[in-house]
Amino acid sequence: MAKIFIVGSSRSGTTMMSRILGTHTSIFSFNELHFFEQVWDPTDQDSLINRNDAEFIAARLLTIQRDGYYHQKNPKIYLSEAKDIISSLDQLTSYPEVYSHVLHYETHNFGKSIPCDQTPRNVFFLKEILDLFPQAFVIVMVRDSRDVLLSQKKKWQRRSLGAQSIPRWQSLRFWANYHPMTMSLMWKNAIKAVKPFQIHPRVLEVRFEDLINDPEKKVLEICDFLKIDFQTEMLDIPRVGSSHQADQIHLRGVDPSIAGRWQREHADKSDLLVCERITSDYLVQYGYSPGNEKLNIFYWLRVFISWPIKSAIAFLLNLGRTRNPWLSVRRRILK
């Protein structure tokens, strides 16, 4: 059964792409489910689970989808429904089978046929996704690393810009997660994770800036890749989710001003220079202009001194968001 995965570095336009596809009459866009790495890990590749565990996992995925990742309820409230979802599975089954059944069950509940998971971190599980789901399509969002950096830096403000559902403690976590070294390495490693699959027939890379500059042309190309018809309603999305300005639900369509903000808005020069130094090779490969200014040694010292402190705080605040924290750090930052 067909599935769509939207992946990429966080703040690269994955949510926008999910909104665009979710307006299609055949596609249902999910919230970020965080199945890979948090519920299932590659170490579970050959593991089978019993019916009770399968029911609990299905119920857990339901509460993430329906109540929101930050407001998950006790999965037990969905156990009855979870039993129905996995009723056709064997007594011993796999995590991916449960996940797949939940995706298609919820999609059909909304009268649609193609589920779309838009969890950005799935970019680090492309091999598993393509192997486990032979009919899956993957859209990889790529955005200028400096715009990603600036958006990440201001992400902690999302609650005050319209995302009232984000708990205050999550704003603290967003603040702790930001450091120019961390964000730049995560962007770079997300790009590196895609490299082996660039010519895969079920993987399509989409530059955020190309989507912004000519949304109709790019969405037509995406529809052709997904083998679905283009619908003009796909371009009629609300202007929400920015880290820079309040949500503008009354305005519709893709906002052309959101590309290249790092060139126009006030940003810490040292942060941008660090980002350019770390990501410069891939910036050029994807057609972005490299920076020409040299990084002052004092900027480097400030960055290196603050990095371990900020990283330690972020590590502690992110415990529980992945089954194997050290593996997650190595995959995203140290690889």
pLDDT at 121: 92
Length of the chain: 335
- Pull the structure tokens for residue 90: 């064997």
pLDDT attached to residue 247: 47
Per-residue pLDDT tens over the stretch 114-171? 999 999 999 999 999 999 999 999 999 999 999 999 888 876 565 555 555 666 767 7
Q: What is the pLDDT of residue 248?
A: 55
pLDDT < 50 regions, the chain: 242-247
The beta-strand segments (E) located in 188-309 are: 203-207, 238-239, 248-252
Characterize 97-128 residue by residue with b for buried, 16 or more Cβ atoms within 10 angstroms of its Cβ, and e for exposed: bbbbbbbbbbbeeeebebbbbbbbbbbbbbeb
Domain architecture of the chain: domains with CATH: 3-26+113-179+193-260 (3.40.50.300)
pLDDT for the residue 249: 63
Whose CA is closest to 139, among 160, 117, 161, 158?
117
Q: Which pTM value belongs to this model?
A: 0.90
What is the model's pLDDT at position 250? 64
Which sign, positive or negative, has the C-alpha torsion 174, 179, 185, 188? positive
* Ramachandran angles phi, psi of 72, nearest 5°: -60, 140
**What's the pLDDT at 9?**
92
Tokens of 269: 């020069």
Residues 283, 58: Cα–Cα separation, whole Å: 40
